[in-house]
Copies of this chain bind each other. A is one copy, B any other.
Amino acid sequence: MDTNERRERLRDDLVAAARGAIERAGLSSLKARELAAEAGCAVGAIYNVFPDLDALVLAVNAGTLERFESFVAGRREPEASPEQALTGLADAYLDFAAANPHLWRALFQHRLPDGKSVPDWYLAAQARLFAHVEAPLGRLCPGLGAGERALLARTLFSATHGMVALGLDEKLVPIPLETLRAQLATVVSAMARGLAQGNALKHA
Residues of A within 8 A of B (CB): 111, 118, 126, 151-152, 154-163, 165-167, 171-172, 175, 179, 183-184, 186-187, 189-195, 197-198
Selected from B155, B167, B189, B192, the residue in CB contact (under 8 A) with A158 is B167
Most buried by B among A111, A160, A179, A193: A193
Is B187 touching A193 in the complex (CB atoms < 8 A)?
no
Is A198 touching B171 in the complex (CB atoms < 8 A)?
no
A159 cross-chain contacts in B, Cβ below 8 A? 159-160, 162-163, 187
Selected from B111, B152, B171, B190, the residue in CB contact (under 8 A) with A183 is B152
Is A193 touching B197 in the complex (CB atoms < 8 A)?
yes
A-B CB contact pairs (8 Å), 8 listed? A151-B175, A152-B186, A155-B167, A162-B162, A162-B166, A186-B198, A190-B190, A190-B195
**Distance of A106 from chain B, by nearest CB (Å):** 13
Cα distance A181–B196 in the bound complex, in angstroms: 20
A111 cross-chain contacts in B, Cβ below 8 A? 171
A184 cross-chain contacts in B, Cβ below 8 A? 155
